[in-house]
Amino acid sequence: MPDAQYLPRVVALITHLRAPEGASRMARIVQQVVPDYHQRAQVEIVETTVTELRRTGKELESREDVDLIICSGATADYLRRHIGTTILSIRMGEYDLIRALDMARARATKVGIVSFQQAHPELDAMASLFTVDLRQATYTSFDEARQRIRELVDEGYRVIVGSSTAVEVAEAAGAQGVLALNADAVRRTLDEALAICRSRTQALIQQQRLSAVLRNLSDGVIAVDADGIVQSINPRMAQLLGISVDWARQRPLAELMPELDISSSLNQGESEENRLVRVGTRTLVANVTPVIEHGKPDGVVISCQETNAIQRADRRIRSQARPRQFTARYHFDQLLGQAADFRALLELARRYADTDSTVLITGESGTGKELLAQSLHNAGQRQAGPFVAINCAAFPEALLESELFGYEEGAFTGSRKGGKSGLIEAAHTGTLFLDEIGDMPVTLQTRLLRVLQEREVLRLGASEPTPVDIRVVAATHCDLRGRIADGRFREDLYYRLNILRLVVPPLRERTEDIRLLAGAILDRLALPMAAANAGQALLDRLMPRLQAHRWPGNIRELENLVERAALSAQTLDDNDQGNPAGLRALFPELFEPGAQVAAAERPDTSDQALRSVAKASEIAHVRRVVDACDGDLDEAARQLGISRTTLWRRLRAGRSA
């Protein structure tokens, strides 16, 4: 950016027929004016001859510190054809001519006025006011100037008014010369020169600011003229294209980006957005904006980004806009239990957490399927992403479709202005948990199948799908095979979901965990110590019945019973707690006929039988996994993390037992 103290450098170039001895008359006039500009410009006087004019102009141009040259009209016209430095003519004004004529009439009665290119018609109109005979002549070259002055002298015009060169020619021809240019003309020209320099400086500042903005943009930007020729390109665009800025300028855009057709923007003035353009190994997203001048396209501006940069920004936006409820709170170490089946389930789930494959969790209601899904999410590579849980049985069919897939503006009556993204899109980069998947309407199962296969979502009313990066975990308490037979569940969706299978055991098969779970639930209630102690005592008294209960509601039912026991314990005295009738009134489900597991069904909890219980639970779990894999022993062995030989040995041990 130009220095605030920078002063424009102006050269006053004076041309002569022959090199003068000392300062010429015109040079002295300029010297008279220069002090008035010492705080606004650096003015330098250079005198040369007609024969040396071109060389002098080239030297001034090569110095690169000259902002502008002022000189007479003929000199300016000649130099403009040979050098690129800005040149300004010192022009005669009407008042300058009148003052020169006043000086001339004191010397002769016939005065000639010689001007470059054009005469002064106002003088002809005022001729009757002068007491001298005036004759005007014009010239376009030095040779023509000599000829016109010779003609005037031959006709008796003994005083010639003109520029410094014209004066010298007149004096060489035997006439007197009167210099038409004076200090006022020089001042006007210098003022105009400084205005040009100020305007140029402001334009340069704006250009440098614009260049700084373009240089620091993360987007690549390139400007092209109406002929498709590159006029400007910022460093980021050059980097994206793998070229240099200097190489790219003045080249056809087709050489830089052959796949990008801008003809419609140049011809019809149409903007184009989000064009995918392949450049080398990169895929760019290009926006083409026409530049309109006087109502017509005069070029285009192209801005580009790499697709992966847009994807990173999309992830940041989704992450920052993620609602707080889209988080997973549970981890594997919060899932309590020592039963062999349950520990084997957790071990298998930990291994599944490291993959991105779809998981199907089956188990009765209340067994903690969503807690297991949250733990899978938090133990995997997507833990920083959202965890979006959807209960497929909780929404009406019409509402579930719009909530899952989202919709565009105007897709249906009452749709939100601007549309809305669905819950599947909200799970981008994270986990989508589909609870009660067996209750999803069949019409939506087809659309969900496409999401699982293509990993893209088509909003209601949209024509283009939105890609999504999600892991799907589904859960159900239903017998999906039975629903397939009834036509209520698509078989192809079942096989798409049933890639990895986790079977959560019911609480009645985890009797050894009931005491541990009841204690943890009681602690979570955060009761006063007296109430907690009373509740624990009552639970201890009820423990035989708790361990023998069928638990149709599983852990959810256990939570209800523990809270009821904790709140009721202090209202019961020892007699009430020992009275079956009192306990039956408070806990009827524990005393109902059929609520207890039959003795033949109960696991043997004696010390001698602990090993056989663990072994039986392990074998039961192995059998469930084999059943879930439709008898495929290789797949079952992979899911269990054991070899096929070990799996066969366990199954054989189970048959012999």
Tell me the mean pLDDT in the region 67-85: 90
Distance CA 303, CA 261 (A): 14
C-alpha distance across the termini of the chain, in Å: 91
pLDDT at 394: 78
Q: How confident is the model at residue 463 (pLDDT cuts 50, 70, 90)?
A: confident
pLDDT at 353: 92
Amino acid at 271: S
pLDDT at 612: 44
pLDDT at 131: 73
How many helices (H) and strands (E) the chain has is answered by 28, 22
Structure confidence by residue, pLDDT tens digits, 132-144: 788 888 888 888 8
**607: its two tokens:** 């010390």
**82: its two tokens:** 């040979």
pLDDT at 70: 92
pLDDT at 497: 92
Residue with structure tokens 């069949």?
442
> What count of Cα atoms within 13 Å lies in the side-chain half-sphere of residue 625?
27
Q: How many CB atoms lie within 10 A of CB 628?
A: 19
Distance CA 447, CA 223 (A): 44
Please, what is the angle between helix 554-568 and helix 514-524, to 10°?
A: 60
**207: its two tokens:** 């250009």
Q: What percent of the chain has pLDDT over 90?
A: 24
Structure confidence by residue, pLDDT tens digits, 205-249: 776 776 666 666 778 888 888 888 988 888 888 888 888 888 988
Distance CA 557, CA 563 (A): 10
pLDDT at 610: 40
The radius of gyration computed from the CA coordinates of the chain, to the nearest angstrom, equals 48
CA nearest neighbour of 462 among 406, 416, 401: 406
pTM above 0.85, yes or no: no
Distance CA 404, CA 426 (A): 9
Q: How confident is the model at residue 607 (pLDDT cuts 50, 70, 90)?
A: very low
pLDDT at 415: 55
Structure confidence by residue, pLDDT tens digits, 148-197: 989 988 888 888 888 888 888 888 888 888 888 888 889 999 999 999 98
Tell me the mean pLDDT in the region 89-93: 79
Amino acid at 432: L
CA nearest neighbour of 91 among 223, 190, 24, 20: 190
Amino acid at 192: E
**391: its two tokens:** 């209960």
**8: its two tokens:** 């424009």
In the predicted model, is pLDDT for residue 651 greater than 90?
A: no
Q: Rounded mean pLDDT of the chain?
A: 82
390 CB burial (10 A radius; 0-12, 13-18, 19+): buried
Distance CA 639, CA 649 (A): 16
Distance CA 177, CA 163 (A): 9
Structure confidence by residue, pLDDT tens digits, 249-297: 889 988 888 888 888 888 888 888 888 888 877 888 888 988 888 888 8
Give the helix/strand (H/E) hosting 273. Answer: strand 272-279
Q: How many angstroms separate the Cα of 67 from the Cα of each of 5, 42, 184?
A: 15, 10, 22
**536: its two tokens:** 């624990």
Q: 413-417, 518-522, 602-606 — which is least confidently predicted?
A: 602-606
Do 29 and 45 contact (CB within 8 A), yes or no?
Answer: no
Q: 307-311, 349-353, 411-415, 525-529 — which is least confidently predicted?
A: 411-415
pLDDT at 58: 93
Do 185 and 162 contact (CB within 8 A), yes or no?
Answer: no
Cα 475 to chain center, whole Å? 36
∠ CA 594-596-602, nearest 5°, is 130
In the predicted model, is pLDDT for residue 507 greater than 80?
A: yes
pLDDT at 503: 93
**Phi, psi (degrees; rounded to nearest 5) at 623:** -65, -40
Q: Which residues contact 350 (CB under 8 A, 6 or more apart)?
A: 332, 379
**Phi, psi (degrees; rounded to nearest 5) at 39:** -95, -5
Structure confidence by residue, pLDDT tens digits, 358-404: 999 999 999 999 999 999 999 999 998 899 998 888 777 778 888 88
Q: How confident is the model at residue 606 (pLDDT cuts 50, 70, 90)?
A: very low
Side by side, which strands form the sheet with 220-225? Answer: 230-233, 220-225, 296-306, 282-293, 272-279
Tell me the mean pLDDT in the region 308-328: 62
Q: How confident is the model at residue 94 (pLDDT cuts 50, 70, 90)?
A: low
Q: What percent of the chain has pLDDT over 70?
A: 86
pLDDT at 600: 42
DSSP 62: H
pLDDT at 622: 77
pLDDT at 613: 41
Q: How confident is the model at residue 602 (pLDDT cuts 50, 70, 90)?
A: very low
Strand-pairing partners, residue 285, are 276, 305
